A and B are shown apart, each in its own frame.
Chain A
Amino acid sequence: MAQSISDINEKIKNLTAKVLTVSELKQLVQAVGVKKATAQVDVITTGTFEPMESSGAMINLGQTDPPIKIRNCWLDGVSVYGGLGAVDLYLGASQEPEGETAMNRGGGHVIADLIAGKSINLKMIGKPNDCYPRPSFDTIITKDSINQFYLFNPRNLHQNFIVGVNSSDQTLYTYLGELKPCLGNAVYANPGAIAPLWNDPDLRLIGIGTKIFMGGGIGYVAWEGTQHFPLQKRLPNRTPVAPAATLALIGDAKQMQPQWVKGCYFRNYGASLMIGVGIPLPVIDEEVVAKASVSDAEIMTSVFDFAIARRVKPSFGAVSYAELKSGMIKIDGVKVRTAPISSIYRSLQVAETLKSWILAGEFTLTEPVAFLASDRSFVSQD
């Protein structure tokens, strides 16, 4: 059975589309096989909810009178990039307040506060000139008192990510949280086989322009993400054994909901932003179902020792996501507790919510405008 995306959209509009979350689909395939499962589903919804520090918000303030050309700017004490048009700003999720006042807070928290409808202090310093004479301005903004407010996140979804451990004798504070000494814990970042990019490993369905669930609103795949590395080594099921494809995402933050966008802070490391992202997969043929049926036991990643703070860290070998999600892995014969940094529960909730939107006929699917580069190599600075 093969169908087009417009066939599926017709069904969505007629409220006759059969929609399954990716976990339901995996169970169905286990029970009845790929062929029968394909006949029972039109759309598969995937989801993730994880810290994504390579995120940020584009903001246009609207002009003051007399107008200002902003050169330096702070939102709630967090420096905002103003090297754009006069009142265009970019607020990065991992940017932290300057000086001693840092209170486990950063750009991610400011973005989440704006989305939650809170008022934020804005301080700006301009470069007076004949067009824009004003030297400085202080005010308070909310998401309703600014023009554009959209997230443009240069690297969000990772197709896979590493597991961190620490063989040294002191706690390390990392982007995976605290890694306790002497292999005291192991932290993994990816929620496993429910996350979007495992289920379309060669990005046959997901490309530029794909409409997605982003932070509780609607977003789109804008481009390949930074560090996109589709040539990563892959298993026979085409899933990568280490970080591979990534996506850059864009979406209107004014539509987003606080429960799906949370500021977060990793002690002695820094600020970030947790976002819920869900991608629907149109079941255009059996191949879609075969690829999306991949289970946690069939996807792998590697455990790296953060005690060596170098680009290439020593590896303790490969583990499957089924092992990671069991709460315990063995490293050199020693049992080590594992913990995720993404919320697997919320990832499932994202897939459920997207499913409910599609079932209600509120969310239709898109064909990619263009596919992402499949041969991008990965360079380093030496």
Chain B
Amino acid sequence: MKQRVNLTFPKHSISNPLAYRLARDFNIAANIIRAQIAPNQEGKMVLELSGDIDQLESAIEWMRSQEIEVSSDKREIIIDENLCVDCGLCTGVCPTTALSLDPISFRLDFRRSLCIVCEQCISVCPVEAISINL
């Protein structure tokens, strides 16, 4: 199964080779969706983990034991259909084509499964129709 997790690393644990340990110890494929990691700073990473359900649970437990904060709050992009005018300006800055215009109707099409929550669309929207749930 697949599970998306948000990780927060304290400064001292950014040297932990996380993706390697997940693969070796738990047989988990960790796809890095977003990462913000720099020396001597708190790090943040969004991972999509795929593997056996029990292994996923053990992996999350192990990450917590390494003082990595693990949350699976689903931060999601929300599009308010009452405000959206289907201009499509957001589609040009969406790096994964989660936002696109239907080639026939030219209505905005949001495929949530492709969204990596990079939030670039939020500030581009000229009618403030896009937000993030926190």
> Hey, which bits of chain A sit against chain B, CB under 8 A?
49, 51, 104, 177-178, 180, 184-187, 262-267, 272, 274, 325-327, 337-346, 348
Contacts and interface: CB of A to CB of B under 8 A. Distances in A.
B14 interface: no
A339 B85 contact: no
A185 B93 CA distance: 7
A344 B103 CA distance: 10
Interface residues of B, number: 20
Contacts of A186: 92
B90 interface: yes
Interface of B: 85-93, 100-101, 103, 105-107, 123-124, 126-128
18 contacts: A104-B128, A177-B124, A177-B126, A185-B92, A262-B127, A263-B127, A264-B126, A274-B87, A327-B101, A339-B101, A340-B87, A342-B87, A343-B85, A343-B86, A344-B101, A344-B106, A345-B86, A345-B107
B116 to A, nearest CB: 16
Contact of A177 (B89, B100, B105, B106): B89
Contacts of A272: 126
B106 A327 contact: no
Contact of B91 (A51, A178, A264, A339): A339
B123 A178 contact: yes
Contacts of A177: 89, 92, 124, 126
A337 B89 contact: no
Majority-rule SS of B interface residues: loop
A348 B103 CA distance: 13
Contacts of B100: 327
Contacts of A184: 93
A341 B100 CA distance: 13
B108 to A, nearest CB: 8
Contacts of B107: 345
A104 B106 CA distance: 26
Nearest to A344: B106
Contacts of A343: 85-88, 106
Contacts of B127: 262-264, 274
A343 B123 CA distance: 18
Contacts of B124: 177-178, 267
A266 B100 CA distance: 20
B85 A274 contact: yes
A187 B89 contact: yes
Nearest to A340: B88
Contacts of A49: 85
Contacts of A339: 88-93, 101
A343 B84 CA distance: 10
B107 to A, nearest CB: 5
A321 B86 CA distance: 18
Nearest to A260: B85
Contacts of A180: 92-93
A187 B88 CA distance: 10
Given A267-B123, A345-B107, 15 more contacts: A104-B128, A177-B89, A185-B93, A264-B126, A264-B127, A265-B126, A265-B128, A267-B124, A327-B101, A340-B89, A343-B85, A343-B87, A343-B106, A344-B101, A346-B85
Closest 5 A/B residue pairs (Cβ): A339-B92, A185-B92, A344-B106, A264-B126, A345-B86
A178 B93 contact: yes
Contacts of B86: 343-346
Contacts of A262: 85, 127
A338 B103 CA distance: 13
Nearest to B124: A178
